[in-house]
Every structure is written in structure tokens, then in C-alpha cells.
Amino acid sequence: MVSEEKESILWEVFIQPKNGLSHRHCGSIHAPDREMAILSARNVYSRRGEGQSIWVVKSIDIVSSDPDEKEETFSSDDKIYRHPTFYDVPDDVGHM
């Protein structure tokens, strides 16, 4: 009975709380198509007016980096000249 059915598509859900803020990941849902994905996302993740816009994206379409390669991907410790404190400016210049 259960095993005969195929696993339905997994979608990642992003909600924008209001204009001016970006869409933020809040979880995932299962649905056979995009219309039902939006509908389920609304029912599951927005029962108290949490958002004004929902994105759903098939999980399988998300490409992500490998956390074990974090150093290679993100290291910028050797580029301290990218930070404002690297530059000497006289104190009496005030806030810059």
C-alpha cells in the first residue's frame, strides 16, 4: 500500500515577511506540482500572517557548496586590506 507510491517532490520554502525584506528559507514541503507546493507552503508555514510572498523551489534544483571545503571557499583572513580598520586615518578626521 505505502511502498507502491512514489515519494512526492520535495520543495524548499522561502517566505518574505514584508516588502523591504528578502525572502528567507523556512523549511520544506512535499507536493506533486508547483501550484500545490505554493498552497501547502502557505498552509504549513504561514498560518499567522508571517508573510506576504512565498517562493518554492525544487530541492533537487539547489546547488550548494561543500561545508568541508569551507576554508577554500570562504577564507579571507589573508585579505585584511578588505576591512576598513586596515587603513590609518587621523582621529581628528572624525567618523569615516
Partner 1 sequence: MARKQNEKIVSLEEFQEKIDRDEKIEPKDSMPEAYRKTLIRQIGQHAHSEVVGMLPEGNWITRAPTLRRKLSLLAKVQDEAGHGLYLYCAAETLGKSRMEMNQELLSGKAKYSSIFNYPTPTWADIGAIGWLVDGAAIMNQIPLCRCSYGPYARAMIRICKEESFHQRQGYEIMLTLARGTKAQKEMAQRALNRWWWPSVMMFGPSDADSPNTENSVKWKIKRYTNDELRQKFVDAIVPQAEKIGLTVPDKDLKWDKKRNNGQGGYAYGEINWDEFWRVVRGDGPMNNERISAKQKAWNEGSWVRAAAHAHALKKQTALQAAE
Least distance between partner 1 and beta carbon 85 (Å):
25
Residue 23 CA to residue 17 CA, distance in Å, equals 7
Determine the length of the chain. Answer: 96
Residue 55 CA to residue 45 CA, distance in Å, equals 12
* Residue closer to partner 1 (CB basis): 64 or 85: 64
Neighbour count for residue 41 (Cβ, 10 Å): 24
Least distance between partner 1 and beta carbon 83 (Å):
23
Q: Is residue 64 close enough to count as binding partner 1 by CB under 8 A? A: yes
Give the x-and-dash track for 1-40 against partner 1 (CB under 8 A).
xxx-xxxx-x-x-------------xxxxx-xx--x----
Least distance between partner 1 and beta carbon 63 (Å):
11
Cell match 520554502: residue? Answer: 13
Q: Is 69 helix (H, G, I), strand (E, B) or coil?
A: helix
Neighbour count for residue 56 (Cβ, 10 Å): 22
Which residues sit at the interface with partner 1, rule CB under 8 A? Answer: 1-3, 5-8, 10, 12, 26-30, 32-33, 36, 43-45, 47-48, 59-60, 62, 64, 66-68
